[in-house]
Amino acid sequence: MKYLFSMKLTNDLAADNSRQSLFYETAVPINFTFGSQTFTHAKGSVLTVQTVTIPITGDPSLYPFDKWFSYVQVFASFIPAGQTKSQVLPVVLELSGAPNGFSTSFEFFDVHSTELDAYADINITRSKTTKALAILIAVAMWALSLCSVALAITLWAYEKKVEPPFIVFTAALLFALPGLRNAMPAAPAMGVLVDQIVLVWGMALLSISLVVYYLRFIASVLPAKPYQAVTPSAA
């Protein structure tokens, strides 16, 4: 996950910025570590907005109820004026925002009692809108598949004639199911749990319905056996 971050310095660490009025300028050398990346700022550097990528862990197979986790550590040091040895710089961490289609929650805590480092756990889940749309599409896929099965059973049980539109509609629906599945917001690649619960079973039911339609249609177009009159034999 990519972060955009900026630094705000206290008055004794910030210098007058004559080049960029919107950003701080360092009065002393500062090293800033965000996650696994370290940014070195010499004296007089302009602290522009930076980007950093932090890995996240989770299981996408549980879509749309998958959960993701990330961990952020921030550490800073500086060299006071007139000295050559660096010192730890206390840090206050502020995090906000969420990726599109996700909800995030932040938990801040201190590992060291000196509060010189800043740590945060980030919990990421799908937003309520994403979950609702994914569930709605899954229910629609199941409903369409079951309606097709009910029609096939009815035609078979009552020996009704199968019209070509029945076959065309069911075949079109069979090939439309993967498209409906991919219409789920921010859906991962094929193979997740929703595919096993909805897509595989839906395509299987539609395929069975098509077989029933074809058998009934073939039976209806076969020529009837010619009628043979039976002449009773004389006693």
Q: Express each pLDDT in 98-133 by its tens digit.
A: 888 899 998 887 655 455 678 888 999 999 999 999
Asked if residues 213 and 167 have their Cβ atoms less than 8 Å apart, the reply is yes
Asked if residues 27 and 12 have their Cβ atoms less than 8 Å apart, the reply is yes
Helix (H) or strand (E) holding 182: helix 164-182
Rounded Cα gap, residues 43 and 27, in angstroms: 5
Amino acid at 55: P
State the DSSP code for 117: S
Asked if residues 31 and 101 have their Cβ atoms less than 8 Å apart, the reply is no
Kindly give the confidence (pLDDT) of every residue in the chain, 235 residues in length, as a single tens digit, with 9 standing for 90 and above: 888 888 888 777 877 766 655 777 888 888 888 888 888 888 888 888 888 888 899 999 999 999 999 988 888 888 888 788 888 888 888 888 888 889 999 888 765 545 567 888 899 999 999 999 999 999 999 999 999 899 888 888 887 778 888 888 889 999 999 999 999 998 888 889 999 999 999 999 999 999 988 888 887 777 766 655 556 655 5
Asked if residues 124 and 102 have their Cβ atoms less than 8 Å apart, the reply is yes
Helix (H) or strand (E) holding 67: strand 67-78
Q: What is the pLDDT of residue 18?
A: 66
DSSP labels, 3-35: EEE-----TTTEE--SS-TTSEEESS-EEEEET
Triad 150, 62, 202: Cα angle to 5°: 15
Residue 91 Ramachandran class (φ > 0 left, ψ -120 to 50 alpha, else beta): beta
